Amino acid sequence: MVKIINSKPEDFLYQQVADRIEQLIRQESLKTGDKLLSVRMLSKEQGISMSTAFQAYAQLEARGLIEARPKSGYYVRLHPKKLPLPRVTKPEPVEQEISLSEMIMSVFKDLASEEVIQFSVGAPSLELLPAAKLNKSVLHALRESKFHGLNYEHIQGNPALRHQVAKLAFNWSGNITSEEVVITAGCMEAIVMCLRAVTKPGDTVAVESPTYFGILQALESLGLKALEIPTCPEWGPELNFLEDALQQFSIAACVFVPNFNNPLGSCMPDEHKRQLVQMLAKHSVPLIEDDIYGEMYFGEHRPKTCKTYDTEGWVMQCGSFSKSLAPGYRVGWALPGKWTKQVVHNKLITSVSGTTLTQAAIAHFLENGRYELHLKRLRKALHVQCLRYLQAIHTHFPPDIHITRPEGGFVLWIELPERVNAFELYQRARQRGISFAPGQIFSTQGKSYGNCMRISFGRPFDAEMERGIEILGKLIRSHLI
């Protein structure tokens, strides 16, 4: 490492050290995601005290240039001032019929294609998943279960798995019994089951704006209307707007993604979650909480959930192993509060029961503590990927964009200059073998996000992904001419 020497005599030594490291970062000798020396090594290499080395890193952290990761060390992060956050969204306050299907199908028909550079899948790529260990759990389930997975599973789901899912609630300070857990074929099935339990066709459901297009499609398929709530890329839905909407409209339910929102990446502060739960309980409005990204946090602690603050059963939390473990296993769950019996019934009449074998395999995987170990690795990998994608976007995209800085999850949300049409951009990118999710599909109000795009950082960053980002950058610039 380059020796760091005093520059300005009035500075404290730790500031000088921090300045020199900043310079290395700005000239890209140290890149986003690079690991820094340990405090001990820095002290040794620079001939400074441990305490000075620690202060230098603290200073760089305060400047937003590096970040500490628990039990791992310090890493270079992006300079946060470089690109601004997207603004709080301003959807029209109207109840909207939904019709997005064609555009979404055209984007997602290639979900399983390997020939496309995928920036459109909001999930980790498969090399980040513990295939070998999961295979062992499948073998265990095949051998040890009485009927080798041939039997119909209990409608409510494998009892051992329900117990494990209930235990996961400990991570978000919840207190759940296995009787409150309903296993589903992934999180979307859970959300649909919950919606069917608390709404009827023609009802209005409040959602964040923008929101995951799958939620909008579910509403559409159930004949429901969407009411989009303004949402902040940092804090999530604007609760004062929601309060007004609850007065003004007859809202049958809310479907929110409070932790690492898809697509905004926002994470509701705990206090907001508490307020939200109280507000909805007061109005007797159920909250369907999509917590599918909650375990994929980059910080020290798993964020709490709205269910954490739910004392009366108004919160129906939905989750899944699809984003963290095995998309193809089709195992998710609902914690439907007051409506548990109704959700079990909906499960019975839609798909009878879930896949027996994959439920047993995941139960075994969790029972052996493998899930927690895997999640630790996955979170670190995703954090590094997030930083590298951000870096590449900074390098290759035009400078007048807004971009989110999520603290978890899989996706970045980018506001391009207003004259860019993201769906047209998508179509041109698709011809170049690149896929991303254009902003239009995240809202019922087509034009609201016509200049936005969602980029997934679920795939490890490599030369191919960099090339993809570079091509996207060029296409955007050509749009701007």
| List 16, 52, 346, 391, residue binding a copy of itself (CB under 8 A) | 346
Sequence-separated contacts (24+) of 38-44 with Cβ below 8 Å:
38/73, 42/17
CA–CA gap between residue 413 and residue 476 (Å, rounded): 15
Q: What is the DSSP string of 338-380?
A: GGHHHHHHHHHHHHSS--HHHHHHHHHHHHTTHHHHHHHHHHH
Q: Among 51, 72, 99, 135, which residue interacts with a copy of itself (rule: CB under 8 A)?
A: 135
354 touching a copy of itself, by CB under 8 A: yes
Report the SS3 class of residue 330. Answer: coil
CB of 329 to a copy of itself, least distance (A): 7
With respect to a copy of itself, which residue has the nearer C-beta, 70 or 223? 223
Strand pairing class (411-415; 315-320) = unpaired
Q: Which is nearer to a copy of itself, 117 or 280 (CB)?
A: 117
396 binds a copy of itself (CB under 8 A): no
Between CA 383 and CA 120, with CA 325 as vertex, the angle to 5 degrees is 60
Interface of this chain with a copy of itself, residues 150 to 189, rule: CB under 8 A:
150-155, 185-186, 188-189
CB of 468 to a copy of itself, least distance (A): 20
C-alpha 263: how far from chain center: 8
Q: Is 352 in the site for a copy of itself (CB under 8 A)?
A: yes
Separation of alpha carbons 272 and 294, rounded Å: 16
Residues of span 17-76 touching a copy of itself by CB under 8 A: none
Q: Least Å distance between CB 150 and a copy of itself?
A: 5
Residue 285 structure tokens: 């409005």
* Residue 29, token pair as written in the block: 């000798």
**Could you give phi then psi for residue 135, rounded to 5 degrees?**
-55, -40
Q: Which is nearer to a copy of itself, 153 or 289 (CB)?
A: 153
Which range, of 126-134, 273-281, 301-309, 416-424, touches a copy of itself by CB under 8 A? Answer: 126-134
**Which residue stretch of 15-23, 170-178, 351-359, 438-446 sits at the interface with a copy of itself (rule: CB under 8 A)?**
351-359
Q: Enumerate residues 178-237 that contact a copy of itself by CB under 8 A.
A: 185-186, 188-189, 192, 196, 200-201, 214, 217-218, 220-221, 223
Element (H, E) at 93: none
> What's the min distance (Å) between Cβ of 324 and a copy of itself?
11
Query: Phi first, then psi: what are they for 230, rounded to 5°?
Result: -55, 140
2, 50, 62, 348: which one binds a copy of itself (CB under 8 A): 348
Are residues 24 and 42 in contact, defined by beta-carbon separation less than 8 angstroms?
Answer: no
Specify the amino acid at residue 311. T
CB contact set of 477 (below 8 Å; sequence gap of 6+): 398
Closer residue to a copy of itself in complex, CB, 68/155: 155
* Smaller CB separation from a copy of itself, 278 or 351: 351
Helix (H) or strand (E) holding 275: helix 270-282
Contact set with a copy of itself (CB under 8 A): 101, 105, 108-109, 111-112, 121, 123, 126, 129, 131, 134-135, 138-139, 142, 147-155, 185-186, 188-189, 192, 196, 200-201, 214, 217-218, 220-221, 223, 322, 326-330, 345-346, 348-358
